[in-house]
A = this chain, B = another copy of it.
Amino acid sequence: MAIPTLLRSQDIAALPGEHKTHFLNNNAQRLNKSLGDASGLTGLGVHLIEVQPGFDTTEYHAHYYEDECVYVLEGQALARVGNEETTLQAGDFIAYPAGGEPHSLHNNGNGVLRCLVIGQRLDHDVADYPDKHQRIFRQRGMPWSLVDIDALTYPRGKPDK
């Protein structure tokens, strides 16, 4: 009998995946195979993503509550993290701790970029898109809610950064 939570490499190759374009970045296009969803995980996001040369993995962003990380399986990527940029290769691992610097990857190579993207799945998270001056609120049971950061007011004051 089969083990229903097992995805063999050929099963993964056969997954259709989802073609995703980020709602804030038309150049962020990826083929997203959610290994976690396909195998019954609910508390973790585990995605095998493929990005073609010249495209981004996502819009430059930072999570306030969810840890995220990437393990590069194939290809290369220009990582932008805060004010730093560097090129990643297969076998490299990069972490994005919650509350840390904003980040994104850009396929600056000639072939496909394949990565494992792993993240927490919390009931509540907030993320910023600094290049777009937008903040998103994601909370269990509510629609994802995006707002221009200037539209927020702070009835109890705003801490200095």
Contact = CB atoms under 8 A, between A and B. Distances in A.
Interface of A: 1-3, 5-9, 12, 23-24, 35-36, 39-44, 46, 64-67, 69, 71, 79, 81-82, 84, 86, 88-100, 116, 118-120, 122-124, 126, 136-137, 139, 141-148, 151-159
B89 A9 contact: yes
Given A3-B81, A6-B94, A35-B95, A146 B139 contact: no
Given A6-B79, A43-B66, A69-B36, A145 B139 contact: no
Chain copies in the assembled complex: 4
B64 A139 contact: yes
Contact of A3 (B9, B35, B79, B118): B79
Contacts of A146: 152-155
Contacts of A156: 23, 143-144
A124 B139 contact: yes
